[in-house]
Amino acid sequence: MKKVNLLAVTVAAVITTTSAFAQTNLTAETASPGGATHLSLAHMTEIAGTNGIANIQLAEGQTLTNSIQNVAEGKTDIAGTPFILPFLMSRGVGPYGALGAESGAELVSNLRVINPFTLGVFFLFAYDSKGIDGWGDLEGRTIYNGPPRGGALTNSRAMIQIVAGLEDGSGYQGMQTNWGQGATLISSGEPDAVVLPELFPSPRLTIPSAAGAMTIWSMPSEAYESDAMQKYMKAPGSAPWTSDVASLEAIMGDGFTFVSEDDTFRAFATIGGNVVNKSMDDALVTELVSTYIASLEDLMAKAPYGKTVGYDFPMQGMCGANPIQYHPAAAAAWREAGFELDDCAVAE
């Protein structure tokens, strides 16, 4: 829970130790520009430099599967990651199959979280001209549901199956394309509907909206509260996500209609964060995280979606099946700033 005097809580500590790490050079890896993952670490890079904490050399557009392994092996200092990746690494499966469970678990034990964020929120949307009547009207439709492979496609398919009872290839025809081509595909009108992890707003919403009005559907409350969905949303890297409809309408503006049974928009989100090696100096972590927290308002003002991705919600995605925890110094910085962190989220 955030205190009102967020900035004042941390700025004094930051000022008293300014330049303590001014000559420190750090390396960092993040995703391509345009999303919460990139913005978070790009902002940290900026404030670390301007406050004399460290010079961070930020590599953008990286494959985060490799990035967190680099951090775990001590080759990179900071990296962004969906929280599903450390889970897979800890078991030596998926992209980490070559590591094996023992080596994967050992590497994951080296990772520590410093700040989390929402990567995207899964929901259904379509042009009004398509005549879609919500989740119950997807059978036989063509649905753009992600890139050709990866977690987003898996999650989209699962959401459609749980909510609408339909499988890709039999109940509906799924379409896939790379992220960079997503807005173009939607604008073409080829898919009847879209189920993707998006931000409010994202380019895959705002760019296609120039071609016509759109409707965005909340997950029905019955489906959201079902045992299947509640279990699915507890998987590593996933979390329940709700917002009042009025706030989303204000963010998105004209051209978008939100549909829900009540005043609440329900969905599930994919969660990630920035991680460091457990050996990173406590004082340096404190400097980085305290300064980051003190500048949260500036961070959230840098993008239209800034207030919807949980930059100021440090417990999202933590504990449960997530195998990684906060660096103790990072946790102390969040708590000092007035945020609540459960003990299960903090490494000893």
pLDDT tens for each residue of the chain, 348 residues long: 444 344 444 444 444 444 455 569 999 999 888 889 999 999 999 999 999 999 999 999 888 999 999 999 999 999 999 999 999 999 999 889 999 999 999 999 999 999 999 999 999 999 999 999 999 999 999 999 998 877 788 889 999 999 999 999 999 999 999 888 999 999 999 999 999 999 998 888 999 999 999 999 999 999 999 999 999 998 888 989 999 999 999 999 999 999 999 999 999 999 999 999 999 999 999 999 999 999 999 999 999 899 889 999 999 999 998 999 999 999 999 999 999 999 999 998
- Report field, pTM of the whole predicted structure over 0.85: no
Residue limits of CATH 3.40.190.10 in the chain: 6-118+270-345, 121-268
What is residue 8's predicted lDDT score, i.e. its pLDDT?
Answer: 41
What is residue 20's predicted lDDT score, i.e. its pLDDT?
Answer: 52
Rounded Cα distance, 49 and 232, in Å:
40
Task: Check if CATH label 3.40.190.10 holds for domain 6-118+270-345.
Answer: yes
What is residue 22's predicted lDDT score, i.e. its pLDDT?
Answer: 58
Q: What is the CATH number of domain 121-268?
A: 3.40.190.10
What is residue 21's predicted lDDT score, i.e. its pLDDT?
Answer: 54
